[in-house]
Chains A and B, each alone.
Chain A
Amino acid sequence: MSDLAQRQRRIGRIAAGVLMAFAVFYGVFGLMIEYSFSSDPIGPRGFPAGLAVALFALGAWYWLVPGSTEEWPGQEGRIAALTFLVVSAACVLAMDWIGFVPAMLVLMTAIARLFGANWTLALVNGAGQALLWWLLFGPLLGGTLPKGPLGF
């Protein structure tokens, strides 16, 4: 077996282990669901219990036959993905405090940078998209967007 196939097999087995552990966690929490009354004989615990058993059994099958996986990203790819997720989460969390337009300006600029734009283009893109989406989903379509101290 080649190194790549062995690596894929190992990754598949780790995933199967995670899924089986999740099945146990889900099943245990499913059996702890509290309820005082149910009009049906199955109750709110029955379906989750059945699914937990199914997931565990399928997880075991997956562990036995891990199949193939795609190539995983290198360190640079992982850093880029992490940057995207951290900046996105930070901007989403900050939206209610600083407002929609400033948060989106930062996020759009950061993503444009990740996708190869230079700083000038990224900033122009960030400002343009932040304003475009605010105009479209705010004043034009009447959506409720976070306001922040500047009012947008």
Chain B
Amino acid sequence: MSFDFLWQGMGVALMPQNLLIGLVGCFLGTIIGCLPAIGPINGIALLLPIAYTSGLPAESALILLAAVYYGAEYGGRISSILLNVPGDAGAVMTAVDGYPMARRGEAAKALAISGISSFYGGMIAVIAMTFLAVPLSWLAIKFGPAEYFVLMVFAFATLGSMVGHEPVKTLLGCVLGLMLTTIGLDATSGAYRFTFDQPELHDGIEFIILVIGLFSISEVLLMLESQVKGTLKPLAVTGSYPSWAEIRYIWWPSVRATVIGFIIGVLPGTGASVASAVSYTTEKRLSDKDGTFGKGDIRGLAAPEAANNAAATGAFVPMLTLGVPGSGTTAVMLGALMLYNIQPGPQLFVEQPKLVGGLIASMYIGNILLLIMNLPMVQVFARMLLMPNWILIPGITALSILGVYTAYASVMSVLIMFGIGIIGYLLRKLGFDMAPIVLGFVLGKVMEVNFRNALALSGGEFGIFFSSTLSIILWIMAIAIVLVPIWLRRRQAARAAAGQPA
């Protein structure tokens, strides 16, 4: 395959007009991303008609929309780290290690680390897209319901890493998360499950309602308890940036997460939330020897951030090469291509080299712009935490309410969020971790739907789950991720025992 499209695209992306558009898109995306109420999909949907009616050429419009998209993936981390309120779905796992860092005064470092890992993830994924977009598009076609189901089994297998000293609580959290996915309309049979005739429950529990309730409202309740006890102190914020050693330290976790994120991003219907969840659990499984994940480990922060940026980029692959959107946001962008009478497909790289090349080249530039834009802002954002609690915590509550209300325009949804917040608070007091609940929720829906679709296709034959090479590879990976660490631990223990003097 010729890479002429990239050189032509560089010419397009480096035009002053497109550079400015990219910069504006990155800035807007960062702001949109850090507000929990507005995800990239809303931002793009708002900007699309403006871009079209203002007469922007197709490549400029696409550069603007793409910049908003990956800018939002950078921005989502800010409120996750500072306030424990995920800015978007992909930033949920960022809070798991980012927020504890902020609580111990390392907000600036956490923001910088996550910005750098976002850059790693974004850049490596763009390079992968440049060279592998067309060859990888087969992956999106090869994944049928059976393969998706086995992929989810693999994702659950990585969950073994979340099992701490009280495994029953991790497993219970996971089952509770799975149960929440069964609320609402069952797409396969058209039956309403656990809706109790409440129209607000027909669409099920929305992801954003769950995470804001579990993370943000329960956190406010915990802080209120500390306030009453007199143990809630204003946070200290050190101005320290990560050292070079730390930047190098997060390289391999970021690379691993990028590979996972990019592949998951390429698969339609999965998205950044699955990518960041799977990359976090995988990294924890591989690296968390001292049990520091979940307590502010920079690798636990870097992995999901790199993954969600890589997934955002990966989602462009099926959109451009097959016309199949990899995420909700790329579905809106597909609409933008249609508006300009552009038909996506493998020939797009040949027929529209300036458009595709311009988009890809703008991503290289956009990632650099975002890093340059984000690093100096780290101190400014971190200083938000110096506000007195009587300003900060009402602000967190307002953002939580707005995040749900503006997305669903429903008072009942906000009340459900508070209800979930109370349950989250009680579970946290009981020693439950919130991450397994979120992971169960993220993976559960995809798992059930694909399990049942696969059985519908096979007429009830379970052999379909072992019928393709891809499925078998995924089964082997799932088994390996469970067994290899156990084998390694035993071998290490045996060696240690052998090395001890008698």
- When the two chains form the complex, which single residue of B186, B225, B398, B431 contacts A73, counting CB atoms closer than 8 Å? B225
Q: Is B189's CB under 8 angstroms from A43's CB?
A: yes
Q: Mark A108-152, 1 if CB is under 8 A from B, else 0.
A: 100111111100011001100100010001000111110000000
The answer to whether A5 has its CB under 8 Å from any CB of chain B is no
Q: Tell me whether B186 and A55 are in contact (CB under 8 A).
A: no
Distance A36 CA – B35 CA, assembled complex (angstroms): 42
The verdict on B245 contacting chain A, using a C-beta distance below 8 Å, is no
User: Which B residues, 372 to 421, have Cβ-Cβ distances below 8 Å to chain A?
Assistant: 388-391, 393-395, 397-399, 401-402, 405-406, 409, 411, 414-415, 418
Q: A35's contact among B189, B227, B393, by CB below 8 Å, is which? A: B189
Interface pairs (13), CB distance under 8 Å: A29-B194, A30-B194, A39-B189, A62-B172, A69-B430, A70-B431, A93-B411, A116-B390, A117-B390, A121-B390, A126-B394, A141-B35, A141-B38
CB of B193 within 8 A of chain A? yes
User: Contact between B397 and A115 (Cβ–Cβ < 8 Å)?
Assistant: no
For residue B38, which residue of chain A has the nearest CB?
A141
Taking CB atoms, residues of chain B closer than 8 Å to A125 are 390-391, 394
Proximity bits, A16-27, B CB within 8 Å = 1, else 0: 000100000010
B interface, by DSSP: helix, strand, loop or mixed?
helix
Interface residues of A in 73-88 (CB under 8 A from B): 73-74, 76-77, 80-81, 84-85, 88
Interface residues in chain A, defined as those with a beta carbon under 8 Å from any beta carbon in chain B: 11-12, 15, 19, 26, 29-30, 33-44, 46-48, 51, 54-55, 58-59, 61-62, 65, 67-70, 72-74, 76-77, 80-81, 84-85, 88-89, 92-93, 95-96, 104, 107-108, 111-117, 121-122, 125-126, 129, 133, 137, 141-145
B350 at the interface (CB under 8 A from A): no
Q: How far is the CA of A74 from the CA of B225 in the complex (A)?
A: 9
Given contacts A72-B429, A104-B398, contact A80 B227 (CB under 8 A): yes
Starting from the known contacts A40-B456, A43-B189, A67-B169, 12 additional A-B residue pairs (CB-CB under 8 Å) come to A38-B189, A55-B179, A58-B172, A70-B431, A73-B228, A73-B229, A76-B228, A92-B411, A112-B391, A129-B394, A141-B38, A144-B406
When the two chains form their complex, are residues A69 and B394 in contact, meaning their CB atoms are under 8 A apart?
Answer: no
Q: A34: which B residues are within 8 A, CB to CB?
A: 191
Most buried by B among A46, A76, A84: A84
Q: Known: A111-B393, A129-B395. Contact between A137 and B172, CB under 8 A?
A: no
Q: Are B169 and A62 closer than 8 Å at their CB atoms?
A: yes
Which residue of A11, A35, A46 contacts B190 across the interface (Cβ within 8 Å)? A35
**B175 contacts A41, C-beta separation under 8 Å:** no
Cα-based distance from A142 to B397 in the complex (angstroms): 20
**A46 contact set on B, CB distance < 8 A:** 452
- Which residues of chain B are within 8 angstroms of A104 by Cβ–Cβ distance? 398
Classify the secondary structure of A's interface with B. Answer: helix
Indicate which residue in B223, B225, B430, B460 contacts A15 across the interface (CB closer than 8 Å).
B430
B391 x A37 contact (CB < 8 A): no
B453: Cβ under 8 A from any A Cβ: yes
**A92 pairs with B414, CB closer than 8 A:** yes
Nearest CB on A from B451, distance (A): 7
Q: Nearest A residue to B453 by beta-carbon distance? A: A40
Q: Contacting A40 at CB < 8 Å: which of B171, B188, B393, B395? A: B188
Q: Of all chain A residues, which has the CB nearest B169?
A: A67
Say yes or no for B224: interface residue by CB 8 A criterion. Answer: yes
CB < 8 Å A-B pair total: 188
B430 near A44 (CB under 8 angstroms)? no
Given known contacts A58-B175, A125-B391, A137-B406, A51 and B186 CB-to-CB distance under 8 angstroms: no
In angstroms, Cα B194 to Cα A129, docked, is: 37
CB distance from B223 to the nearest CB of A (A): 8
Output the nearest chain B residue to A103 by Cβ-Cβ distance: B401
Contact in complex: A44, B224 (CB < 8 Å): no
Interchain CA distance A39-B206 in the complex, whole Å: 25
Q: Is the CB of A80 within 8 A of B224?
A: yes
B172 contacts across to A, CB distance below 8 A: 19, 55, 58-59, 62
Q: Which residues of A contact B422 (CB under 8 A)?
A: 85
Expressed in whole angstroms, the Cα–Cα distance for A145 and B407 within the complex equals 11
A54: which of B175, B229, B411, B429 is its contact (CB, 8 Å)? B175
Given A67-B431, A73-B228, A92-B401, are A47 and B456 neighbors across the interface (CB < 8 Å)? no
Contact B225 A80 (CB under 8 A): yes
A37 to B: closest C-beta gap in Å = 6
Check if A51 sits within 8 Å of B179, measured CB to CB. yes
Interface contact A70-B428, CB-CB below 8 Å: yes
Give Cα A76 to B193, complex, Å: 39
Q: With the chains together, A44 CA to B166 CA distance in Å?
A: 32
In the complex, A72→B426 CA distance in Å? 9
Interfacial chain A residues near B188, Cβ < 8 Å: 38-40, 44
B182 touching A111, Cβ below 8 Å? no
Q: Which of A39, A69, A114 is in CB contact (< 8 Å) with B456?
A: A39
A76 to B226, CA, bound (A): 11
Q: Which of A43, A95, A115 contacts B227 (CB 8 A)?
A: A115
Partner of A144, one of B409, B430, B455, B456: B409
With A11-B430, A68-B431, A107-B397 known to touch, is A122 a contact of B453 (CB < 8 Å)?
A: no
- The smallest beta-carbon distance between B361 and chain A, in angstroms, is 30
B418–A35 CB distance below 8 A: no
What's the nearest-Cβ distance from chain B to residue A41, in Å? 4
| Closest beta carbon of chain A to B79's beta carbon, Å | 14
Q: What residue in chain B is nearest A83 (Cβ atoms)?
A: B224
- Assuming the contacts A35-B189, A44-B188, A92-B411, asked whether A115 and B37 have C-beta atoms less than 8 A apart, the reply is no
Given A69-B431, A143-B406, A112 and B394 touching (CB < 8 A)? Answer: yes
> How far, in angstroms, from A88 to B426 measured CA to CA in the complex?
18
Q: How far is the CA of A65 from the CA of B169 in the complex (A)?
A: 10
Q: In the complex, what's the smallest C-beta–C-beta distance from A147 to chain B, in angstroms?
A: 12
Shortest distance from the beta carbon of A58 to any chain B beta carbon, whole Å: 5
- Whether B224 contacts A84 by the Cβ 8 Å rule is yes
